[in-house]
Structure 1
């Protein structure tokens, strides 16, 4: 069994040296975008009078579902908001993503807004605050608390432990 099979569930050969780092900031950027939109969706649902347990399930079974929703929304609704990731780390990843785009002469539209939101969150709550607490900005603005019973205080990984498996990239001739 290859050594990498012991390190993770899915193994993706990304290409030349440095490509995995680019993809890491890309995926972290997407996770942050998802977190920010989930915060808006949860607060909007609350001010619209929706039950937050029902809102969670509606998102989970719909086109709005994601890994971020299934994990981070639970700790937001629990109130712990602990995912072992902080606002300063989110900020670093968004800035790195923006730098990758800038090197490619790409003018981004959403990333600058995300940077501003995270900068504001760091100023208000501190750079070492749990990243899901970015929702506090909207909770304070709306005068609501986004809490619901029955959710765990920390992210739970219930995927069974199995040796890693290589991911085949569609359309790539050199699939391993």
Structure 2
């Protein structure tokens, strides 16, 4: 299968890199010519536009920063969609939008897959991230070999749109966890606890989580650079709030979280790193929530392995 990849940013560049590293016939496109040039130097083919990639490739993957960018790229590609063409959307976007886009692709004779990733930017670079795939089973079987070069665990979730709904939920939970860890670490510092010991205490407890085992390290090192910015957080948690509003679920924590992140953006900038939320509490208390011995950046030390499909447990 000849694969096109559009969007070579923080996550997209790493996912595309996994395809290239594993010998996939890859053509790339991005508005940033330097990113395209880097892939060309590593052996990828390059395309002049999204439309050209759809013309030349069997499957085109998009990984873009906003719903508006996704809509613009699809509009460019759609006239060239037909039988044998597959569009794979790996952006985190609105479920209703992805459904509408998928319907347009299918109406043109193509196939569509909604396949966002979860598990941290550092794992995207090693092929160990997780991927949700929303599409027909027939389409899933076609694209599974491609997905297993980019992710470790692949979950077929059913129809297009389901993946995006699940993804905004997971990002909501991750952000809530980040904010609660900021509070927990600051209170422990104020109470005189050794923060390196505190990190281990959380990690071995019922209070641990993926966010703690990754982002807490960047908070404590002072790096505060998880490679995920506040504007992207706001997009995701805003989509989750919209989902709740659409279904009449009266949330209490979600609006507060949006308000807190908005304050963080006012203080540190629209595109500040999300881990800088700890600095709101450092400023309020005069404390430094840091400890020696923690890394400046996250490194995935798990060996790369070919991915596999995760089977959903069902009753008899």
- TM class, shorter-chain normalised? over 0.9
Residue 281 of structure 2, aligned match among 113, 117, 138: 138
**1:38-79: CA deviation from partner (whole Å, max 9, x where unpaired):** 000000000000000000000001011111001000011000
Q: Which blocks of at least 5 consecutive residues in structure 2 are unaligned?
A: 1-143
Counterpart mapping for 1:53-64 below 5 A: 53-64=196-207
Task: Kindly report the root-mean-square deviation, in angstroms, between the aligned alpha carbons of the 2 structures.
Answer: 1.2
* Corresponding residue to 1:82 among 209, 221, 225: 225
Task: Detail structure 1 runs of 4+ shifted over 6 Å in the superposition.
Answer: none
The structure, 1 or 2, with the larger RCO (C-alpha pairs under 8 Å, 6+ apart) is 1
Contact kept in structure 2, 1:29 and 1:93, CA below 8 Å: yes
Asked whether 1:73 is paired with 2:216, we answer yes
Relative to structure 1, is the Cα distance of residues 45 and 162 closer, same or farther in structure 2, using a 3 angstrom cutoff?
same
CA deviation after TM superposition for structure 1 residue 13, in Å: 0.5
CA shift, 1:2, in A, is 2.2
Say which of 132, 149, 174 aligns to 1:6.
149
3-state SS of the aligned residue for 1:77? helix
TM-score between the two structures when normalised by the length of structure 2? 0.53
Equivalences for 1:50-129 in 2 at 5 Å? Answer: 50-129=193-272
Of 164, 180, 188 in structure 2, the residue corresponding to residue 21 of structure 1 is 164
Q: Which TM-score applies when normalising by structure 1?
A: 0.95
Structure number with larger C-alpha Rg: 2
Q: Distance in 2 between matches of 1:3 and 1:124?
A: 41
Residue 48 of structure 1 pairs with residue 188 of structure 2? no
Would the alpha carbon gap of residues 172 and 95 (structure 1) be closer, same or farther in structure 2, given more than 3 Å must change?
Answer: farther
Secondary structure of 1:14 counterpart: strand
Cα distance, 1:6 vs. partner? Answer: 1.0
Q: Distance in 2 between matches of 1:102 and 1:39?
A: 27
The alignment covers a number of residue pairs equal to 173
Q: Deviation of residue 172 (structure 1)?
A: 6.7
- The 8 Å contact of residues 71 and 156 in structure 1, kept in 2 or not, is answered as no
